[in-house]
Every structure is written in C-alpha cells, then in structure tokens.
Amino acid sequence: MPLLQPVPVERADAVGPVHFIAAGGSGMSGIAAAYAALGVRVSGSDQADSATLRRLATQGVTTFVGHDPVQLGDAETVVVSSAIRESNVELAEARRRGLRVWHRSAALAGLMAGRRGVAITGTHGKTTTTGMTATMLVAAGADPSYVIGSPLTATGESSHLGTGDAFVIEADESDGSFLQYPAEIVVVTNIEADHLDNWSTPERYADGFVTLCSAEHVRVTVACADDPGARVLIGRLRAAGRRVVAYGESSDADVRLTDVRETPETSTATLTASGDQGPLQLVVPGRFNLLNAAAAYTVGRELGLDAAALRAAAASFIGTHRRFQPIGVVDGVRVFDDYAHHPTELRATLGAARGRVGTGRLVACFQPHLFSRTVEFAGELGEALTLADVIVCCGVYPAREDAVDFPGVTGALVAQALTALGREAHYVENMSDAPAALAALVEPGDLVLTLGAGDVTTVGPELVRLLGQEGLARP
C-alpha cells in the first residue's frame, strides 16, 4: 500500500452529509461520533454488527450492517480507512458519483481545523498516551476535544468535542497519515522500525517523523529522551533549529523522572521540570506509563495549564480499552486482553503482567497481525513471548493483506521460533479453536493474557464462558 499524501484541510462542518465505511472500527467510530456531535448528518456502515456500531446509533449516526451502494444516501463526503479496498461497493459508488472521498485522517483533520492541535504519535504507546493526555487536561481544568483509537475505561468514550481550544488526537504513523494533521504540538513516544510494508526501510520510517515534526505549523515537539530512536529525532530537530522538549529518566531530559517506584498496580516518580518539582502518582502500573504521563504533563504545560494540577491529574487516568483490560475471573483463572502485537509491546505487556501473576502461571494467547509483520518479526515475536510460561500461537490476522501474496507465512512461524528457543508453543490456526485449547491448559491461579490487534478479542470472553460451564471448571 502506498503512503498517503496529505490533502487540503477542510472544516468538518463544511463538507455536507458524511458517510463512514467501516464505521464500527476503532479508528473510525470516534471520528463519526464527533461529526455527529458537531451537528453534521452522519451515516455509517460495517460488515458486521457490533457494540460500537450500536453505540454510534445512540449518538445520532444512522448505521447499517453490511455494505450496499444505496446506503450512501445523499452523502457528499465518504470516509474510508486504509483497510477499505477499492472493490468495496460503497466506495465504488462514491467514485462513480464523483463524491469527495477522504481517508479517515482528512476527516479528523477537518475536526481539528481552528483548534490548537496536539498530535500524539510513535511506534508504541500512542493510544495510552493520547488517553492519558486527554484525561489529564480534563482533570486539570481544561475541556479539550479529543479522538483516541480506543475508548477510555472511565467513560467508555473515544471522542469528545470540548469547549476548550485544544484538540488532542492519536496520529497513526503506519500509513503516513500523521502528516495530515494541523498540529501545533507533536508528541513522539518512541521510534522503532515497523510498518515496513508501507515505508520500505527503517530509515524512511524514521525520516517520516522528521518530516512530521519539521512542518511549518508545528511549534514544539515533545519526545522521549530515553528511547534511542526518539533521541536521534531530537538531535536532528535541534540541529535544524526546531524546538524540542525532551522527557524521561535521562539526565539531560527537560522534564525528568527520578525516584521511580513500581508495584503490580501503581507507579510513582518525582517529576522535575522548569519551575516545578513534585510527585507523579499513577493508578496504572508500568514504567512506560510514567513516561506517557510525563509526555501528557509536558503537553499541558505547553498549553499553559498549571503544573501542580497536571501532576495531580495523572492519578485520574485508569486506562483505555484493550490495554490490559480485565475480561473475567473463573475458578481462580484471571483473563485479560491487550492490543500488544509488536515485539516491544509484547515485552512491555508481558513484563507488566508478570508482576500480577503471583503463584500461578502466565499464559499468553497471541495472534500475529499482518503477514508482512509476521515474516519480518517472527523471531523477535517468539523471543518476546518467552516471558510467558504457557504460550498459544494462533493464525495470522490479515487485516489489509492477502494470504496469497505471502505463501508459506502463517502463525506457525512464531511457534517455530519459540521451539528454536527451547520453548513449547501450542499452535492453533483457527481463532475459533483457541478458547477450547486454552481451557484445556489453564489451572487455578493462572493469569491468561490474549494479545494482538485482530479478532483475538473474542477469545477471552469465550474462555470465561467455557471455564464457567459444568465439567470444564478447573479442579
């Protein structure tokens, strides 16, 4: 798939009725809801019914299950994601009519027009950092607008149109769409080679962040001083005369964390910045979350909010959906779900889970995402999964790719990588068979973690149901 090229930004309230294809997706639903909240007439379709689609219907969006050209109605603008193919019947009809066809990033940019844009990007941690930033700005007294790639646990909402002048968004780097947004502040959490099916090389991928942060409308870049890729970015930007605020534990960070302490449920540190020093206390675990909070704090300072109020606001963030999300507990077996799908994300999530296991075992059920990523990172994925005690590998979730273009590439590559490392992996090609496979493996006290960016989300609830049935409950 070629990288997306930015298009001129048009205000969201000036593009007529809007139809969203695949409106129930995590990247689309929040934007559709925001357009409806703005007073725009919005419709949306998806190939299957979902709780998200039903929720959109309660928010003023006319929703359809399945795709049909007649569902475009009198739409003047049609919004698609990178996953929508030209063969989609609704997209084909929009092309035939000559309607305005936008990628979701152009639709999101239209919402940001006239606001102080904050674009949060990076290889990992975008969703959590965006959610944390939105939550902290709200708790510190602002009323920002925001669009996040996953609903906030506290509210169940992934978007909000506020009365304040800030608009916080999660900016996806995978397809180059992060270059579309009219942001004043850009946050870069980290940079590690990924999405090479689009960017071709790690160098081009890293250069994309430089292009983003060098845009004329960007006033300041907030970047992690602890991440090697982000440190290179910081150096390149400062050499070009661009303003950067670096955060992290590094001694040269402008917003620095010290006295870091972690428990299985919380994390704390002392934060030191220009004109401020004090405690940063989170009710979510993980060193990486302290870094995310430092980034959010820095955004708030750049927007003129009170430093102490921002630090205090960090404790109000309790997470987003699919980020170590609890699914259920049956007979002492605890089941969680997480979006981690890159080796670095797997290591961070499994490392955090290890602190919660107790005397039981850590059981991982992993679904690889994309054939291209699987063949590129099979060895690293296997190495990351060795942090679990019991491992179930599933077939690849193809997303926008076709198996025919990647002969021989299956989830078994990850299982084989684990075998080469001396670890046993249970391979299940069909996702529908994974709950039963897990039910036969788990024991009381185990912590089960389903991992991946695809439909592995169905496994946890079904596993809980199976374990709760008579005869399947653990002795």
The CATH number for 73's domain is: 3.40.50.720
For residues 97 and 139, membership in a common domain is answered with: no
450 to each of 249, 326, 339, 376, how far by Cα in Å? 31, 10, 8, 21
The CATH number for 407's domain is: 3.90.190.20
With CA atoms as reference, report the closest residue to 172 among 124, 244, 236.
124
Residue 107 lies in a domain: no
**Torsion (CA) 380, 384, 385, 389 in degrees, nearest 10:** 140
Q: Which two tokens stand for residue 258?
A: 């010290």
pLDDT given for residue 59 in this prediction: 94
For residues 301 and 373, membership in a common domain is answered with: no
Residue 166 lies in a domain: yes
Number of neighbouring beta carbons within 10 Å of residue 452: 25
For residues 218 and 357, membership in a common domain is answered with: no
For residues 141 and 238, membership in a common domain is answered with: yes
pLDDT given for residue 417 in this prediction: 95
Cβ contact 79:107 at 8 Å: yes
**Integer Cα distance of 453 and 464 in angstroms:** 20
Q: Which two tokens stand for residue 183?
A: 């942001």
Question: How many domains is the chain partitioned into structurally?
Answer: 3
Number of neighbouring beta carbons within 10 Å of residue 93: 18
What rounded mean pLDDT belongs to the chain?
A: 93
Number of neighbouring beta carbons within 10 Å of residue 200: 11
For residues 37 and 120, membership in a common domain is answered with: no
**Integer Cα distance of 437 and 428 in angstroms:** 8
The CATH number for 137's domain is: 3.40.1190.10
Strand-pairing partners, residue 245, are 222
pLDDT given for residue 473 in this prediction: 44
Annotated binding residues for ATP, written as ranges, equal 122-128
For residues 358 and 413, membership in a common domain is answered with: yes
For residues 342 and 263, membership in a common domain is answered with: no
For residues 276 and 337, membership in a common domain is answered with: no
**Strand-pair category, 166-170 with 220-224:** unpaired
Residue 147 lies in a domain: yes
Cβ contact 160:334 at 8 Å: no
SS in 3 state form for the chain? CCCCCCCCCCCHHHCCCEEEECCCCHHHHHHHHHHHHCCCCEEEEECCCCHHHHHHHHCCCEEEECCCHHHHCCCCEEEECCCCCCCCHHHHHHHHHCCEEEEHHHHHHHHHCCCEEEEEECCCCHHHHHHHHHHHHHHCCCCCEEECCCCECCCCCCEECCCCCEEEEECCCCCCHHHHCCEEEEEECCCCCCCHHHHCCHHHHHHHHHHHHCCCCCCEEEEECCCHHHHHHHHHHHHCCCCEEEEECCCCCCEEEEEEEECCCCEEEEEEECCEEEEEEECCCCHHHHHHHHHHHHHHHHCCCCHHHHHHHHHHCCCECCCCEEEEEECCEEEEEECCCCHHHHHHHHHHHHHHHCCCCEEEEECCECHHHHHHHHHHHHHHHCCCCEEEEECCECCCCCHHHCCCCCCHHHHHHHHHCCCCCEEECCHHHHHHHHHCCCCCCCEEEEECCCHHHHHHHHHHHHHHCCCCCCC
Q: Which of 259, 290, 316 is the last residue before a domain boundary? A: 316
For residues 165 and 307, membership in a common domain is answered with: yes
Catalytic residue set: 126-127, 170
Residue 181 lies in a domain: yes
CB-based contacts of 248, cutoff 8 Å, min separation 6: 224, 225, 226, 227, 255, 256, 257, 291, 294
Q: Which of 38, 71, 102 is the last residue before a domain boundary? A: 102
Q: Which two tokens stand for residue 433?
A: 């068979």
Burial of 203 (0-12, 13-18, 19+ CB in 10 A): exposed
Residue 346 lies in a domain: yes
pLDDT digits (tens, 9 = 90+) for 59-90: 999 999 999 999 999 999 999 988 898 999 99
Residue 474 lies in a domain: no
Query: What is the extent of the structural domain holding 88?
Result: 12-102
Residue 7 lies in a domain: no
**Integer Cα distance of 446 and 359 in angstroms:** 8
List, run by run, the mean pLDDT of 10-residue segments along the chain (475 residues): 85 96 90 95 94 93 97 97 90 97 96 96 94 97 94 89 96 92 98 86 95 97 98 98 98 98 92 97 92 98 98 94 87 92 91 88 95 92 95 92 91 95 94 94 95 92 86 43
pLDDT given for residue 413 in this prediction: 95
Residue 207 lies in a domain: yes
Q: Which two tokens stand for residue 223?
A: 């970047």
For residues 243 and 300, membership in a common domain is answered with: yes
Cβ contact 283:257 at 8 Å: no
**Integer Cα distance of 15 and 73 in angstroms:** 15
Q: Which two tokens stand for residue 448?
A: 């089960």
Residue identified by tokens 């917003």 is: 255
pLDDT digits (tens, 9 = 90+) for 250-297: 999 999 999 999 988 899 999 999 999 999 999 998 899 999 999 999
For residues 119 and 252, membership in a common domain is answered with: yes
Q: Which of 282, 316, 350 is the last residue before a domain boundary? A: 316
For residues 275 and 368, membership in a common domain is answered with: no
